[in-house]
């Protein structure tokens, strides 16, 4: 494991020298690397690819073994880098004062965003056969373009239904304190804005995806309208809670 750890660390430090990379690009993306348009600028992506290439996976068990090993290595290397930085800065990590973290109470907006995820998940499960039947009808009439459109829309909904709740939650962490700190010495509020912005982007993409179904799924029209209304309301509330959120520049995406 040690030589693997060394390789993991060395690969990361070597790749980090690449001047095309954008620092922190992975902080406010949607982690959908297969659909990302900025992979060449992302250290996380390039590192994952590099480590995959070095893996000797013959079957899915090997792949899973490799997956868990990478999680373990990421943790160990991160801790090692933190310890090295602390040493350099003369900080004794065994003697850091305890910080009392404030209790986080979920806001109604967070609860609603999370609920959307569960409801959409359940709805897709419940309508699995219905969607499959629709797809079969399209195969019969050989409408390839529409099949691809449905498939893409389904993927989008699946990718984002839990993602939205997670990001809305993150956007609310220490929100009042951060919004009312005129100094904001370390720009911590930017994390709330970045999280809220990617949540809004995910909401808009989910609404686009639902619109694809709305045109053809007449029997499910009411359900789809309900989801569209809820997403639209979540977006409106986010824009109100985070004034100027859409002006936030996500590194690598908006600048
Ligand atoms: S920036 Fe793109 S490639 Fe990097 S982690 Fe995010 S989605 Fe993946």
Same domain, 127 and 55: no
207 in Cβ contact with 153 (< 8 Å): no
Are 207 and 112 within one domain? Answer: yes
- 103 within domain boundaries: no
30 Cα–ligand 1 center, Å = 7
pLDDT confidence of residue 1: 54
Q: How far is CA 89 from CA 13, 93, 195, 205, 251, in A?
A: 19, 11, 30, 44, 27
131 and 211 inside one domain = yes
Tracing tokens 């996500």 back to the chain, one arrives at 250
91 lies in the same domain as 137 = no
Burial of 202 (0-12, 13-18, 19+ CB in 10 A): buried
pLDDT for 54: 66
Q: Does residue 147 lie in a domain region?
A: yes
Same domain (yes/no): 234, 148:
yes
| Cβ 36 under 6 angstroms from ligand 1 | yes
Instruction: Give domain status of residue 114, yes or no.
Output: yes
Residue from 25, 201, 251 to probe ligand 1 pocket by mutation (most atoms less than 8 Å from CB)? 25
Report the separation in Å between the CA atom of 25 and the middle of ligand 1, taken as the mean of its atom positions.
7
198 lines ligand 1 (CB under 6 A): no
User: Where a domain ends, among 64, 95, 126?
Assistant: 95
Say yes or no: 160 and 73 in one domain.
Answer: no
Q: Which atom of ligand 1 is nearest to the CA of 39?
A: 3
Residue nearest to atom 1 of ligand 1 (CA): 26
213 in Cβ contact with 220 (< 8 Å): yes
Q: Could you tell me which of 238, 255, 251 has the C-alpha nearest to residue 197?
A: 238
185 in the same domain as 83: no
Nearest atom in ligand 1 to 43's CA: 4
Distance, CA of 165 to CA of 113 (rounded, Å): 5
Calculate the CA dihedral of residues 247, 249, 253, 255 and round it to 10 degrees. Answer: 100
Q: CB under 8 Å to 73, separation ≥6 — which residues? A: 1, 4, 5, 8
Count the domains in the chain: 2
pLDDT in tens, the chain (255 residues): 568 889 999 999 999 999 999 999 999 999 999 999 999 999 999 999 998 876 766 788 888 888 899 899 999 999 999 999 999 998 888 888 888 888 899 999 999 999 999 999 999 999 989 988 887 777 777 677 777 888 899 999 999 999 999 999 999 999 999 999 988 888 899 999 999 999 999 999 999 999 988 878 888 999 999 999 999 999 999 999 999 999 999 999 997
91 and 113 both lie in a single domain: no
Domain that holds residue 214: 108-247
Q: Is residue 255 part of a domain?
A: no
Q: Tokens 């804005």 identify what position?
A: 193
Domain co-membership, 79 together with 195: no
- For residues 116 and 63, membership in a common domain is answered with no
Q: Using a 6 Å cutoff on CB, does residue 45 contact ligand 1?
A: yes
Long-range (24+ apart) CB contacts under 8 A made by 20-23 are 21/46, 22/251, 22/252, 23/251
Residues 167, 28: contact at Cβ < 8 Å?
no
Distance from Cα 29 to the centre of ligand 1, integer Å: 6
DSSP annotation of 231 reads H
Tell how far the Cα of 95 is from the centroid of ligand 1, in angstroms: 36
Q: Ligand 1 pocket, 39 CB below 6 A?
A: yes
The pTM of this model reads 0.89
**Which pLDDT belongs to residue 239?**
98
pLDDT at 199: 98
118 and 241 belong to one structural domain: yes
Q: Name every residue whose Cβ is closer than 8 Å to that of residue 89 and which is 6 or more positions away in sequence.
A: none
DSSP E strand stretches across the chain: none
Let me know if residue 253 belongs to a domain: no
pLDDT of residue 142: 67
pLDDT at 213: 87
Residue 102 domain-assigned (yes or no): no
Based on the fold, state whether residues 27 and 145 are members of the same structural domain. no
Q: Is residue 119 part of a domain?
A: yes
């Amino acid at each position: 494991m040690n030589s693997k750890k060394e390789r993991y660390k060395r690969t990361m430090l070597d790749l980090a020298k690449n001047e095309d990379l954008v620092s922190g690009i992975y902080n406010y993306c949607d982690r959908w690397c297969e659909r990302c348009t900025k992979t060449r600028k992302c250290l996380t992506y390039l590192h994952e690819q590099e480590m995959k290439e070095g893996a000797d996976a013959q079957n899915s068990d090997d792949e899973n073994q490799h997956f868990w090993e990478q999680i373990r290595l990421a943790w160990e290397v991160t801790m090692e880098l933190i310890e090295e930085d602390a040493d350099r800065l003369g900080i004794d990590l065994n003697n850091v004062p305890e910080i009392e973290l404030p209790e986080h109470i979920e806001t109604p907006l967070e609860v609603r965003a999370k609920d959307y995820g569960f409801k959409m998940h359940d709805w897709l499960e419940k309508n699995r056969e219905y969607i499959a039947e629709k797809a079969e009808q399209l195969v019969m009439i050989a409408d390839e373009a529409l099949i691809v459109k449905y498939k893409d829309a389904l993927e989008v909904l699946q990718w984002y239904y839990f993602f939205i709740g997670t990001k809305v939650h993150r956007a609310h962490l220490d929100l009042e304190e951060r919004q009312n700190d005129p100094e904001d010495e370390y720009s911590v509020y930017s994390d709330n804005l970045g999280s809220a912005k990617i949540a809004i982007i995910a909401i808009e993409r989910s609404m686009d995806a639902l619109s694809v179904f709305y045109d053809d799924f007449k029997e499910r029209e009411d359900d789809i309208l309900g989801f569209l209304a809820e997403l639209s309301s979540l977006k409106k509330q986010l824009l109100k809670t985070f004034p100027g959120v859409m002006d936030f520049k996500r590194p690598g995406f908006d600048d």
